[in-house]
Amino acid sequence: MSQSVTTLPIATILRDYPFCSDFFESQGMEIPQTANSKTLTGYLFSLDVDYWEDMGTSPEATLQSFTAFFEGMERIANQKKFSVESLTILGGRNKQGEDENITLELNRGDVISIVGPTGSGKSRLLADIEWMARRDTPTGRGILVNGSDPDPSWRFSIEHKLVAQLSQNMNFVMDLTVEEFVDMHAESRLVPERENVIQRIMKEANSLAGEPFTSDTPVTSLSGGQSRALMIADTAFLSRSPIVLIDEIENAGIDRQKALDLLVREEKIVLIATHDPILALMAPRRIVIRNGGIVKVVETSTVERKNLHYLQALDNKMLRLRNRVRQGERIEDATENW
Ligand SMILES: Nc1ncnc2c1ncn2[C@@H]1O[C@H](COP(=O)(O)OP(=O)(O)OP(=O)(O)O)[C@@H](O)[C@H]1O
């Protein structure tokens, strides 16, 4: 495919593969309008020796770099075709070396929380999934994708990046606005109609975050909750990874239910390690971990789901209390109406 592209007229290349203009720009090549009807190969070989001397390269080397660039971009575009229908966790051993004795299958659109005391092994389970464990981690667990052993090379492959991980600390170090950050990400994913996608991400991120932010906000000035909200919306719309691992979102002050709904709508498999009972009950199932091992999987019952709004009301009371303390108020009515 990429070989034949170089024999197409430049105008056709730029129309059908608009990302190619980035290649020419990065090479410092300004292609005049008059060359649009020439093939890329024809144009490059029509340039004189002085031009190539100035550029410090040759038409052959430029064609070779173009072909490598084009093939790389095509590979990225083709990632869409790999679909994960199921993820299976094959039990390993707990910290005492006892068998977990479990096989757990998750399907597209499933959300499952992971609960257990501090140090019990919640993050370890997420790490096993991210690493696509093949009985080669301290837990001895195995992970299957679509019922089969994933190829070990996927661990390092950008094309098969199956897992997106949202960790507790998201620190931006780039000097970019929110819009520039999302646009850069969308561009690297070859997303068509980037403007629309950016707007959707901004809208969803703002509906998740407590405090709104605009597209010209520098990413470095986002609060913890706002960056979390941005990354969740960004993951939902731009990440091709079908599996999303979340390590704690409870402290980020974002709308947890909306965050889950958004990821589910995009048909991701979502696993959330959490100490937050509300978040744990929002998921239809929860994995209970003790002493490094999965001890059971509990389905959220109808009663639990029904009672969720009581817990949320309690949580809102705590939030109001927190805000009052933050404002410097004295709290002497805590037993009455917070
Ligand atoms: N089955 C296991 N076998 C051996 N080591 C394990 C096992 N499970 C967990 N560990 C180890 O136990 C330690 C604590 O686990 P981990 O960090 O996953 O706990 P956690 O539940 O996420 O804790 P926290 O709630 O504090 O974040 C880690 O060093 C981890 O590698």
Atom from ligand 1 closest to the CA of residue 121: 18
For the chain, the distance separating the N- and C-terminal CA atoms, rounded to the nearest angstrom, is 67
Residues whose CB falls within 8 Å of the CB of residue 245, separated by 6 or more in sequence, listed in order: 126, 129, 130, 163, 164, 165, 166, 271, 272, 273
Question: Same domain, yes or no, for 17 and 164?
Answer: no
Of the candidate ranges 3-7, 39-43, 79-83, 176-180, the one whose mean pLDDT is the lowest:
79-83
Mutate which of 90, 94, 115, 123 to test ligand 1's pocket (most atoms within 8 Å of Cβ)? 123
Number of domains in the chain: 2
ipTM value, please give it: 0.98
Residue 63 lies in a domain: yes
Question: Same domain, yes or no, for 155 and 264?
Answer: yes
Question: Same domain, yes or no, for 72 and 137?
Answer: no
Report the number of secondary-structure helices (H) and strands (E) in the chain: 13, 9
Give me ligand 1 centre to Cα 95, in Å: 9
CATH code of the domain in which 269 resides: 3.40.50.300
Question: Same domain, yes or no, for 273 and 134?
Answer: yes
- pTM higher than the cut 0.90: no
**Other C-beta atoms lying within 10 Å of the C-beta of residue 297:** 13
Residue 313 lies in a domain: no
Tokens representing residue 281 in the block: 């009950």
- What letters, b where the CB count within 10 A reaches 16 and e where it falls short, cover 313-335? eeeeeeeeeeeeeeeeeeeeeee
Residue 28: exposure state from Cβ atoms within 10 A (0-12, 13-18, ≥19): exposed
- For the segment 76-131, what is each residue's pLDDT rounded down to a tens digit? 776 655 678 999 999 999 999 999 999 999 999 899 999 999 999 999 999 999 89
Residue 337 lies in a domain: no
- For the segment 228-269, what is each residue's pLDDT rounded down to a tens digit? 889 889 988 888 788 888 887 665 567 888 888 888 877 889
Lookup result for tokens 């019922």? 147
Task: Identify the DSSP state of 267.
Answer: T
Query: Pocket residues for ligand 1 (CB within 6 Å)?
Result: 93-95, 116, 118-124, 138-139, 273, 292-293
- For the segment 128-144, what is each residue's pLDDT rounded down to a tens digit? 998 999 999 999 999 99
Residue 321 lies in a domain: no
| C-alpha span between 239 and 234 (Å, rounded) | 7
Question: Same domain, yes or no, for 71 and 176?
Answer: no
Question: Same domain, yes or no, for 36 and 158?
Answer: no
Question: Same domain, yes or no, for 59 and 116?
Answer: no
Provide the domain limits for residue 25. Answer: 5-78
Nearest CA owner, ligand 1 atom 24: 118
Atom from ligand 1 closest to the CA of residue 94: 1
CB 254 within 8 A of CB 229: yes
Question: Same domain, yes or no, for 74 and 90?
Answer: no
Residue 310 lies in a domain: no
